[in-house]
A and B are shown apart, each in its own frame.
Chain A
Amino acid sequence: MMGRIKILASDVAGKIAAGEVVERPASAVKELVENSMDAGATRILIAIEDGGKQMIRVEDDGCGMSRDDALLSFERHATSKLRTAADLLRVSTRGFRGEALPSIAEVSRLQLWSNDLVEECGTYVRISGGVKEKVEDIALPRGTIVQVDDLFYNFPAREKFLKTAGGETGHITRTVEMAALSSPIVFFALRSGGRKVLQWEAVETPAARIGQVLGKHVELLEFDESNGPFHWHGFIAPPLERSVEKPFQHFFVNGRPVKDRTLGFALRRAYQEYLQRDTNPSAVIYLEVDPGMVDVNVHPAKTEIKFLESNDAFRSLHAATKRRLGKMQTFVAVHLSEPGQGAEDPIAGKAALPPLPARPLHTQEQSHCSAPQAVPSQMQLDAPTSLRDSPFTVLGQYMESFIVVSTRDGILVIDQHNAHERALYEDYCAHTSVPSIQKFLIPLIMDLSDEAFNAIMENAPSLSTHGLHIEAAGPRSIAIREAPAQLGEAGAIAFLAELVHSAETAGDLRAFLDFHLLRSMACHSAIKINMPLTPEKMESIIRNLFATSTPMVCPHGRPIIVKLRLDEILRGLRRNTQGFSS
């Protein structure tokens, strides 16, 4: 029987830059787990001791290896995954360089058990510091086990740089998370020192796996879209401030976790245009693309990729993300507790409505999906897809800050400041004409740090076209001589402070000037909370809000509307829906 592994022809080997494959225990885990996935495993069990420094064991039920292959796998550039240089342009497996096993074996005491079930029995190999010590036959089920003891024992220079066991375990956990996100249909378990760290059953969809890995409380907007050669399957956080607790951003290209600036930037831009604010959105994005269109061989760790047409990739993801954001009609929905659940809680008030921060923010469409079976589906369909033109009645003002509105399918509680701010903002954007500019009788003097001073003075010309006329008034102070009237004096100061801050973090100010300025103007001219309003004023605020493109989120990304749906109310009050259909 012919072995599957071939030594790479020297031209192929030359194409693969030499470099360190194993930097730390987590990189060994990454390579071993990738091998298991490439072998078609459906269950991968990982065990570590002392952060992987003492022991790493990866066990799979993949295709296994013959005795020949098992021995060959420790030769450098021995791989079953590539034959010729041309193959390198079409890599669809995670491994392809044929250097992981030999590299790990070089710096540890490694044992391998493997059986491909083609031959009668399996193979056992033991290698220490790259030297084969033992090879023998052994009875085994199909699959492979690789155990790495004393990693870097003969490489003290590297050993010194390792973190504490806890730190390394953290790295390993993240590595396994990435692998798990990339392959939902594989069962993963990680144990450390005999204790379970994580364990995820095989699931059918990425959505289900994301739920397992990132936690059920994270509600994401999903899209599945092909354009051109790109097929995107994306999960993005709703564009609300702190819609996820811990930010994350993961990209998988053809199943391979990658870091790529282009993709991150595409997301950022899409959110920025939508939100008028610079954020790094939380997202998990899967891209399937012809392997010929990406170069994966940029770095031995294989986490970096290069798109052959990176502009196309940018545009494609940017467009897909924006389309998804544009389709969103979301509210922050309040969910009453499930029937029965409240009864156990002795404090009635607490049971009725969980405090908001403790519960996740839900988008309306997602709460559709999770709506209980008991609710007739017709009622959900009746929910207006757009607030524009939807009839409403202002019921009143709560706490002199929130406008309470009834609509056909529920009660909206609307933050009066955020609502007014959104409407004004869109107003200002629509008339991109120069704002009204008030000159100062007494110029406003601000003392700044060196960097802030330089950043502001460098941008003085473009600030001036935006209505802020600024002059140097000393080595590190500026004088504001004119400012948009809507800002007022306090607003101008607040705006400049914000600008100074983004000059420090974002570097280039010009791109954000528009967003910042119009947003600040809207914020400072909008009515505040803790302010009584007449019914007419409330009515006009709501009407204007509903006419905006994005009535659910203010230009700063804070939610505007909390919604209590009729079906939730009925469920909470244990009433059936008869007589309430709209």
Chain B
Amino acid sequence: MEFTVKKSELEHNLQLMQGVVETKITMPILANILIQAEDEQVRLKATDLEVGIETTMPCNLKSPGSTTINVKKLYEFVKSLPDDEIHFARESDTRINITSKNVVFKIAEMPSVEFPRLPDFPVDGNLRLKGLLFCDLLKKISFNLVVDDKKQHRGSLFVMTPDSIMLVATDGHRMTYIKKEQESFDLPVDLPEYRLLLNRKAIQTILRIQPSEEIEMSLGENHIFFRIGSTIVSSRLLELKFPKYDKVIPRGNDKFLKIGVDSFLISLKRACLVTNDRAHPAQITMSGHQVELRSIGAEIGSEHREPLQAEYDGEDLEIRFNAQYLIDFLQVVGCEHIRMELKDADRAVLIRPMGEMSYEYLYVLMPMRI
């Protein structure tokens, strides 16, 4: 095995691969990536057995072959090398030489036969999605995914019909819902309804890939696949268990707060300066037309207060939120103003972007106890 690749491209790909490889490794081989060199290109593969990633890059091939190398180490090596060509060559049965200019790294390999087989991208039944649009939808719900992988709904509900694409994510405290009408995707009219749970890691991996105009999606027997440019992400299908999202969306909230996204964000970030690591209790007081933001510090006596530029319509109300939860949403909402629909201090608030939007986007947030 011997080939030469461009450093910048390899570094970028290795960074992607690293995101898939587990930090807690159960099988040593899973800490490695598979490198296959043939037909003037290098194929890289990594997997944690749930999510797999596979990408190809052009190379200058001397002799074909394959190997597996610890991805973390390889990434550190490559990152440290000058921006140039990198030469890979097998030195002995168990060692690979990585050379750039006159720098040489020698690294131990593990036999590539031990590397688990990734599922193949199905040949037919593929859908073409508008890439930038799809990634935008993913991004708008991705902050709300459950981090705990023991949880059953460790991902986003993904529903696709001939009319629309819908994604819902929740971590138990809040829920994000986004729905986009079909015409913008040009989906085939005879499309069967897809309804599945999209793995959190798969979503995060897709979002880390350079978005392309078109994303090819395909459903295999046990996996869902996305092809983005020269990269394929595969994800084992999870058992479809998801809370009844439509029951959670509050109806009949009768108090309305309209507020500018940018200024609200700045105020909330200020509020977080006095709160502690994880809980950021911030209280919004609406009385008459006055709206005030106040946050209570972790250290006794520390406090922050400021008036908010907002329009309020409803009875006087005081409500407390985790400021970070509001910030998460405001950072991706992508509009000038939002509207918060409130009921009382104990019940869920519904937040939505204002103005002409090409999709339906809802954020349901539960308050904190006052």
Contact = CB atoms under 8 A, between A and B. Distances in A.
Interface of A: 424, 427, 431, 433, 435-442, 444, 467, 482, 484-486, 488-490, 524-525, 530
30 contacts: A427-B298, A431-B299, A431-B300, A433-B300, A435-B279, A436-B281, A437-B368, A438-B279, A438-B322, A438-B369, A439-B368, A440-B172, A440-B173, A440-B366, A441-B170, A441-B174, A441-B175, A441-B248, A441-B348, A442-B170, A485-B278, A485-B279, A488-B278, A489-B146, A489-B148, A489-B151, A490-B147, A490-B150, A525-B277, A530-B23
Contacts of B300: 431, 433
Contacts of A436: 279, 281, 322, 368-369
Contacts of A440: 172-173, 366
Contacts of B172: 440-442, 444, 489
Given A489-B148, A489-B173, A431 B298 contact: yes
B346 interface: yes
B188 interface: no
Contacts of A438: 173, 279, 322, 366, 368-369
A427 B278 CA distance: 13
B148 A441 contact: no
Contacts of B174: 441
A470 B230 CA distance: 50
Nearest to B243: A442
A441 B279 CA distance: 16
Q: Which of A435, A441, A489 has the most CB of B within 10 A?
A: A441
Contacts of A441: 170, 172-175, 248, 348, 364-366
A69 to B, nearest CB: 73
A439 B346 contact: yes
A2 to B, nearest CB: 78
Interface string B259-288: 000000000000000001111010000000
A477 B23 CA distance: 34
Nearest to A434: B369
A14 to B, nearest CB: 66
B171 to A, nearest CB: 7
Contacts of A482: 369
Q: Which of B147, B170, B277, B365 has the most CB of A within 10 A?
A: B277
Interface string B276-317: 111101000000000000000011100000000000000000
B353 interface: no
Interface string B139-182: 00000001110110000000000000000001111110000000
A489 B298 contact: no
B367 interface: yes
A442 B24 CA distance: 30
A442 B241 CA distance: 14
Given A431-B298, A441-B348, A485 B366 contact: no
Interface in B14-33: 23-24
A540 to B, nearest CB: 11
Nearest to A524: B278
A513 to B, nearest CB: 18
Given A437-B368, A441-B170, 5 more contacts: A431-B299, A441-B364, A442-B170, A442-B243, A442-B248
